Amino acid sequence: MHKPYTFLSIPILMSFLASCAGNVAAEANEIPPTNTPEKVQSTATPEVVPQDPPATCLITVPQDPPFTPPAPYDALGFEGDFWYGSNSLWTAVPQSGTWRGLPLNSGGYTQKVFWWRDGYVWNEEPEPNLIVTGERLDAKAPPLKASKATNAYASDIGSAMLVGVDIPTAGCWKITGRYNDEAELSFVVWVAQ
């Protein structure tokens, strides 16, 4: 069973983000550590969908030839994921095409999405001008809600942009990231319980 982004497990991610915030504050004296938000129990009844994407959900697959990011990112990678995009904007997409087992809260299914671009430096642009949107493709649903982009850095991810999303329902979702007016990238993923 594929876990949603191994590095995005919520308890591990929150611990990672808290330590990153502390490291950033210690290193740059610009960004203070933040408290981890409390989990909100969902009052919504989750929609029942298949665990694997149906043929009607055209999940994103690796490019042909596969995209390889520029150095030093070419040496990084995440188990169960592949790089997708271009030097202008890329992300890591699950090989299975599925985000499964995401926490469900009052806003929907929560996921953290890392984005990269050639030349992005986390401590020079702590609040990157990255806007993330999303729409369900297989049924009517409210659009996903995305946090304001922030910076992230660690030796295993390099200099990255991070956005938290709440996906209101399970199903087939197209996620789009836009950086300034310079780059846009979309991918399709299946969200299951």
pTM over 0.85: no
What are 116-157's pLDDT values in tens digits?
999 999 999 999 999 999 999 999 999 999 999 999 999 989
What is the radius of gyration, based on Cα positions, of the chain?
16
Tokens of 29: 């004296």
Tokens of 192: 């299951």
Tokens of 55: 């043929």
Q: How far apart are CA 93 and CA 130, in angstroms?
A: 18
Higher pLDDT pick, 8 / 137: 137
Helices (H), the chain: 10-28
**Would you say residue 93 has pLDDT above 50?**
yes
What are 103-121's pLDDT values in tens digits?
999 999 999 999 999 999 9
Average pLDDT over residues 6-18: 40
Confidence of residue 25 (pLDDT cuts 50, 70, 90): very low
**Would you say residue 33 has pLDDT above 90?**
no
Q: pLDDT above 90 covers what percent of the chain?
A: 67
Nearest CA to 115 out of 70, 145, 84, 144 is that of 84
β-strand pairing of 98-100 with 183-192: parallel
Confidence of residue 46 (pLDDT cuts 50, 70, 90): low
